[in-house]
Amino acid sequence: MRNDVERRQRWMAVLARASCRELEQAYLDLLNAPAYVLLRPPESGLVLLQGRAGETGPSFNVGEATMTRCALKLLDGTTGFAFVLGRDQRQAELAALFDALLQRGDETASATLKVISKFERAQSMRRDLKSRKAASTKVDFFAMTQAREPK
């Protein structure tokens, strides 16, 4: 059970980070795009971001970020939810749709899982590229002492 929850959380995180363009292309690639009803239409708002010093210290407020959420129901009763950063309502709607498709027990779920895996690989590659670019600009400072001969 715990593995299922962790796996779904990972999938939802990948969907939340996927761009609207990627989600739209994956939606267009679906052979049979399912019909759905919006339970909670996409709506934008603010969320308070919190952080911790060293991941163990007391939490503190970092600031606010814009977030869009959406909930929908497929005609077979499967529900999907999404929370994405930013104000792109179509992105939130498509992420919720793919979340619902992942929960189905048919071939659509396995096809959707392939799409999620593709998104995850692309996000990992972008993260690695960004990390390598940042590492290439790293400067190591060190103090150098000069040896002085006694007078």
pLDDT in tens, 87-101: 999 999 999 999 998
Percent of the chain with pLDDT over 70: 91
Handedness of CA 80, 102, 94, 64 (dihedral sign): positive
pLDDT in tens, 51-65: 988 878 889 999 999
Q: Supply the pLDDT for residue 141.
A: 66
What residues contact 53, with CB distance under 8 A and at least 6 apart?
Answer: 60
Q: Supply the pLDDT for residue 3.
A: 77
- Domain borders along the chain are 2-117
DSSP 31: S
Which residue reads 């929960």 in tokens?
103
Q: What is the DSSP string of 83-151?
A: EEESS-HHHHHHHHHHHHHHHSSSHHHHHHHHHHHHHHHHHHHHHHHHHHHHHHT-------PPP----
Which residue did the predictor score with more confidence, 92 or 33? 92
Q: What is the mean pLDDT of residues 40-48?
A: 95
Predicted structure pTM score: 0.78
Checking if the pLDDT of 142 tops 80, the result is no
